[in-house]
Structure 1
Amino acid sequence: MSKGLGALVFVAGVAALSYWGAQSHAVTMERKIAAEAMSLIAQTVHPMSVSVIGRDIALAGTADNEAELAGLVDGLNDIRGRRVVNAEGVTVLPLVEPYETALSKAADGSIAATGYAPTAAARDALAADLPGLAGLLLGHGAPEGWAGALAAGAAALAPLEEGSAALTGTTFTLAGMAATPFEENETRAALAGLDGFETVVAIEVLDPGIVDFQIGYDASEGFRIAGTVPGSLGRDAIAAALGGVELDGEVSTTFAGLDGLEAALVALGARLGLFESFDLTASDDGLSLAAEPMAGLDGDTVRAALVEGLGDGEGITMIASTAPADGAERVNAATGRRQFAQGGVWMNMPEFEPSKATCTQAARDTVEAAPIRFVTGSAELDPVSLATVNEVAGIIHLCTREAGMRVVIGGHTDAQGDDTANYALSLARARAVRDALAARGIDTVRMTAVGYGETEPVADNDTEEGRAKNRRTTFEWPE
């Protein structure tokens, strides 16, 4: 080989070796720059990407603020061997002052969000359970604890029917409507652990759980109701408890109940015939009743009947009765019976054609259902029997006036005691009934009081039950 050719080969080898070395060194340098750049951007708040071509560095992504971007660029500029740092692909988040994020819950349960989130990661973490948050914009300046505050806000809205939660700087405001105090308490509990924020909460409770209603009754006009009643009963069940009456008026319902209410209404309904009017008030404090007895009935006796039924007399007030004008007529709203006024009392108008048989049977049925009682050992009418006297008065009025018949009022005793004393007591009791009927407008000429003593028993006098049946008042119409 000639010297010229050898020199050429040597020069070519050196050039090739130099080129390979340069290329290998450039790749190594690029990798080194890329590794250091990746290490720097790994510390950023938001996703950031870096590309290195040769020794030129290019950034793309989002910076939380200008200071973060400047620090990042400074760090990249400090990498040995780099040539150019290009940050034009980086978006800097706007500074939001005051920082605002708001949630709103609609009546259908959906939650929408407006305002800003500090990072996509924080936003997406919440949006996993609340898709409405996915549309939040990114902004710089969120208060510390932003994610916890928004999570608490979402939890606080969950029990509400509808509402809104707004975070403005470090002030957290929540407003909405809760179905009951239970949901309100759940909402407040969800915010109890919210530290570092001033909280402002305004919740309207749709059903505060308060029973508060009134029932009014007038025998001539009927029943009315107003207020808030337990939902467990409702208006229809209250009407049923009172005996299937018709209740006029509007009511709302509450989840709350009132112990003993239904039993008290049933007891009151069973005694409606004792009242001319009443006003019943029911509240969380209990029941109170202002009642006017039917004219001709004893107020203390009616009160005693109420106490027996309601179990408590503290809330019962009796009002003096007003006597109706003789000749007045009406339909009793509680009983549905036609009534007429005579002798200052209301009497039921019998609904049968008067005859000896029908008059006898009607009077017998009445006193068997509710016997006429007397104070023990005397001829004084027991006040509890005045309602029966009123009922009988209506029958006798029809039979003596319309049919022109006469009635014999018989007094009967049991066999205990002296025969003569029993006769005198039976006669006195028959006369007491006659006088009570006369006070109710029955013509005394049409009534005769007779005492039978113990001579006409209808049961065995050896038992108390039998003796009670023998102590009775009878009504008969002679031919």
Structure 2
Amino acid sequence: MGLWATTSAAPRIEGALAEVARQAAAPDALQTEVRGRDLRVTGTVTDLAAYVDRLAEFERIDGLRQVAFEVETLPLASPYELTLRRTEEGAISVAGPVPDDAAKAALIDGFPDGDEADLTLATGAPDEDWAEVVATLAEALAPLRSGEVMLSDRAITLAALAPTPREAEALQATLDALPKAYTVADEIEVEDDGTPLRLSLTLDDGRLSGQGKVPADLPEAVSEVILGNGAVDVTQSVRTAENTAWPAMARAAIEALGALVEGRLEIEGDAVTLTGSGAPDAVEKAQAMLGEIPDAFDVTQDLTVVEEVQPVGLVMDWDGETATATGAVPEGFVPNGPAGVEPSLDLDEHPQADGAVAFRRNADAGIAALALLDTGRVQVDAEAIHLTGTATTPQVAVLMDDVLASVADSVTITRDITYLDDGSPAAWTLRFSTTDGAHVEGRLPAGLSVADMEAALGVEIAGAPAVAAEDSETQGSLGVLDVLSEVLPEVETLTFAREGGGSALDLVATPGVELDVMAVDLAEKLPATVAFSIAPSDVTLPEGSTRRNATTGLEEVFTGKYWLPVLAFEPDAETCTEQADAVLARNKITFLSGSDRLDATSIRAINAIAAVAKPCLDAGLMLEIGGHTDSTGSEEINQALSFDRANAVLTALLSRDLDGAAMTAVGYGQSEPIADNETEEGRAANRRTTLRWTSPEGEADGLATDEATDAEGSADAGTDEGETGAGALDDAGEEESEATETDPEETPDAAEE
């Protein structure tokens, strides 16, 4: 049933409909407009369900002819995240969604002018407490130095800097009182410990000591007096004094204390107390300084005037090369310097000094004792000698006892000496890893330096070991390091320890090293006193892992089960030959004497050749590995040995996932000499291995060849005409036949390629 009215009743009916519409719109703060019996509704509601409910409610209003429901739903925010920030300058910002206009207004109304609010209305708030939790967190930021809060649904992350523990505790209490459904991850730091500013200083015999806490804005002159004094344990706050007069008060009070002969200053809160004694003019000066303290402070003084005396005392500082002396001495007394050094003097002379004879005797003994120190200070008067400083070993104390034995028994002697060496023997440990390099720690003998160790090992060594000054026995350490330098590129980690007469060496070999070969080599070269162990690397790494090798300085990539150097070049026959030349100039392949078995150090050369060969083979080039010998021994044995060694190189490359179809091994024996076999240098040059690159059509494109180096010297570079030479690949002590195995010029050791 609808409303019917005459024209004169229309305004009354329109007003009644408008009132009913306003009441229906109030819960969601919707806007309504009634014209006649037509209603227009605008605004936003939280979600679709609310939209349907509100539309139905307006359509049920009796008397309406038409309802234009122009209401939008809020967007959904998920997760529901809002961020609050407070900077150290006090500015507050907030950004994120809020569920309704009331929550938005509550946040913005609480912000001072100039702060930023980037708030959007959105649905998705996790519960009805969310808006109140945000308001609580915003209020909790206000007293902080700075802070940031992120509220994501019911998860709160907070990082804050509180001025003092009081604000930190209040913040924690606020967080603890939040609804249980909300989780909090907080990191609250405290800018200041919250204790009041205070000072307790004592002046005794010209030395200031004490403790306390001072503000950040302490005057520079006061800072130099107390913060630069090791005997004063003072904490300086990062905050300035709340009472702006505190720094000026502290300056005046400390200057008043400094005017006295002895005294004590206590500053606690607004109370300032100075007690002590001094000459009449000193007490007068102290009282004048206290008079400059602002009236806001309660100043108490108890100062005693004493007649001026003429005590004598000497302070001499010694840095090992120069000496300076200050103090008051008997008239005519000129002190000598330590070790015959003429000191720089700043002395007052007292004609009527008390205890002049005892002072002179004590000063002479004290300065003689000071000369035994590396650096130090002696303080002398008629009744006491006090020595501080550093000395090499405790043996200095024995010598000092003899020097000080000449003073009277009544003289108080005190010593505070730091010994650079406790006299114990050398004991040190050298550690090395491929990724981190070398580091030494412990106590080195006097005859061994880190620089000497670096020169022997061939790498930089970090660390600052102490020196056992009384122990100069190096026990052949540099010889051991020389041996280790040869195998270092094949080592993942190394630990070499020396203590007393014993040594221990533990190595972990790089993947691919034949441990028995390395063990035999080290056993032959290391002294019998060095006990060593070798273990394989048990580290499992993902394919493609990279590192920088601390020994070689090269980037390496883990391929298969080997560390191969990383090389970047465009592969063609000429470039591949150049790359092989460069690799073989740095690395050598060596064989066990008279054998086709590679020795332990060859892995670095094989890995480097593999790194060159892979892109070259991938580019379609073919690789021939050729073995060559000199003319010593029978032709058949030389032919077989040259092939076996070339094949050993091929086998090693195949184990590194190279294309076997693109590589061949050929033994040339003594058939292709490049030098005179009548000389040792020529024979060394002829013992070589070549890498020949060819195109798929079989045309020779480039050749890399080694040059052998034996124990007696190295051959000049020699290559075939029109071919490119490379680094060494063969051995120097090659045994091609039974007749040459016992040649006295040939050693049984693995020879360098």
TM interval, short-chain normalised: 0.5 to 0.7
Question: 1:379, CA displacement in angstroms?
Answer: 2.3
Letter in 2 for 1:162: G
Residue of structure 2 equivalent to 1:385: 602
1:473 to 684, 689, 709: 689
1:178 correspondence with 2:394: no
The 1:364–1:178 alpha-carbon spacing in structure 2 relative to 1, beyond 3 Å, is closer
Post-superposition shift, 1:272?
A: 4.3
Deviations 1:15-34 (A, max 9, x none): xxxxxxxxxxxxxxxxxxxx
Alpha-carbon deviations, 1:403-462, whole Å to 9, x = none? 233322222233333333333332222222222222222232332222222222222333
Aligned 1:198-347 pairs, distance under 5 A: 202-205=415-418, 207-208=420-421, 216-224=431-439, 245=460, 251=464, 272-279=488-495, 290-299=506-515, 314=530, 318-322=534-538, 324-347=541-564
Out of 632, 643, 666, the position equivalent to 1:427 is 643
Within 2, Cα distance between the matches of 1:475 and 1:360? 8
- Superposed CA deviations along residues 229-285 of structure 1, whole A, max 9, x for unmatched, are 79999878976876575x666x37769588577887787667642332334567897
Alpha carbons of structure 1 residues 105 and 263: separation in structure 2 relative to 1, 3 Å: farther
- Correspondence for 2:667: 451
Residue 408 of structure 1 aligns to a residue whose secondary structure is strand
Q: 1:315 to 1:126 in 2, by over 3 A?
A: farther
Residues 290 and 104 of structure 1, relative CA distance in 2, 3 Å threshold: farther
Q: Aligned pair in 2 of structure 1 residues 253, 424: CA closer, same or farther (>3 Å)?
A: closer
Does residue 367 of structure 2 align to residue 154 of structure 1? Answer: yes
The residue identity in structure 2 corresponding to 1:220 is T
Distance 2:633 2:592 in 1: 17
In 1, distance between residues paired with 2:477 and 2:412? 41
**Residue 594 of structure 2 corresponds to residue 399 of structure 1:** no
Q: 1:421 to 1:224 in 2, by over 3 A?
A: closer
Aligned partners of 1:126 and 1:133 also within 8 Å: no
The answer on whether the counterparts of 2:456 and 2:481 sit within 8 Å (CA) in structure 1 is yes
TM-score normalized by structure 1? 0.58
Secondary structure in structure 2 of the residue aligned to 1:473: strand
Q: How far off its partner does 1:168 sit?
A: 9.3
Using the alignment, how far apart are the partners of 1:371 and 1:332 within structure 2?
18
In the aligned structure 1, how far is the partner of 2:348 from the partner of 2:651? 87
Give 1:286 shift.
9.4
Question: How far did 1:355 drift?
Answer: 1.6
CA 1:270 to 1:173, structure 2 compared with 1: closer, same or farther past 3 Å? Answer: farther
Inter-partner Cα distance in structure 1 for 2:530 and 2:556: 32
Report sequence identity in percent: 30
CA distance in 1 between partners of 2:670 and 2:551 (Å): 39
Bigger relative contact order, structure 1 or 2 (CA pairs below 8 A, ≥6 apart): 1
Per-residue CA distance 1:33-68 (angstroms, 9 max, x = gap):
xxxxxxxxxxxxxxxxxxxxxxxxxxxxxxxxxxxx
Separation in 2, partners of 1:104, 1:450: 86
Contact 2:446 2:473 in 1 (8 A): no
Query: In structure 1, what residue type is equivalent to 2:562?
Result: V
When the two chains are superposed, the root-mean-square deviation of aligned CA atoms in Å is 4.9
CA distance, structure 1, for counterparts of residue 336 and residue 688 of structure 2: 81
Compared with structure 1, are the counterparts of its residues 153 and 383 closer, same or farther at alpha carbon in structure 2 (3 Å cutoff)?
Answer: closer
Q: 1:454-478: per-residue Cα shift (whole Å, max 9, x none)?
A: 2222223333433333332222222
The CA distance in 1 between the partners of 2:676 and 2:466, in whole Å, is: 56
2:571 corresponds to which residue? 354
| Structure showing greater Rg | 1
Partners of 2:507 and 2:535 within 8 A in 1? yes
Say whether the 8 Å CA contact 1:275–1:291 is kept in structure 2.
Answer: yes
1:431 is paired with a residue whose SS is helix
Q: Contact 1:372 / 1:473 at 8 angstroms: preserved in 2?
A: no
Does the 8 Å contact 2:627/2:642 carry over to 1? yes
Amino acid at match of 2:435: S
Secondary structure of the residue aligned to 2:611 is: helix
TM-score normalised according to structure 2 size: 0.40
Structure 2: how far apart are the matches of 1:412 and 1:101?
Answer: 91
CA separation of 1:465 and 1:248: change in aligned 2, threshold 3 A:
closer
Per-residue CA deviations over 1:304-358 (Å, capped at 9, x if unaligned) read: 7778998786275544334654432222233221212223221212343222222
SS at match of 1:156: helix
The C-alpha deviation readout for 1:363-414, integer Å capped at 9, x for no partner, is 35545665533333332223343332222222222322x3233322222233
CA contact (8 A) 2:510 2:536 kept: no
**Equivalent residue of 2:494, what SS?**
strand
The whole-number CA distance in structure 2 between the counterparts of 1:357 and 1:164 is 76
SS at match of 1:427: helix
**Stretches of structure 2 lacking an aligned partner (at least 5 in a row):** 1-310, 338-344, 696-753
Distance 1:466 1:154, change over 3 A: closer
The code of the aligned residue for 2:580 comes to A
| CA apart distance, 1:208 | 2.6
* 1:363 is aligned to 2:580: yes
The 8 Å contact of residues 292 and 321 in structure 1, kept in 2 or not, is answered as: yes
Residue 292 of structure 1, CA deviation: 2.9
- Aligned residue for 1:138, secondary structure, equals coil
More helix by share: 1
Cα offsets for 1:71-106 (capped at 9, x unmatched)? xxxxxxxxxxxxxxxxxxxxxxxxxxxxx9976444
2:403 matched to 1:190? Answer: yes
CA distance, structure 2, for counterparts of residue 416 and residue 231 of structure 1: 51
CA contact (8 A) 1:427 1:451 kept: yes
SS of 2:673's equivalent? coil
The answer as to whether partners of 1:258 and 1:284 remain within 8 angstroms in 2 is: no
| Residue ranges of structure 1 left out of the alignment (5+ in a row) | 1-99, 115-119
Q: Is the 8 A contact 2:590 2:602 kept in 1?
A: yes
My pick for the range that moved more, 230-239 or 353-362, is 230-239
Number of positions where the alignment pairs a residue of Structure 1 with one of Structure 2: 365
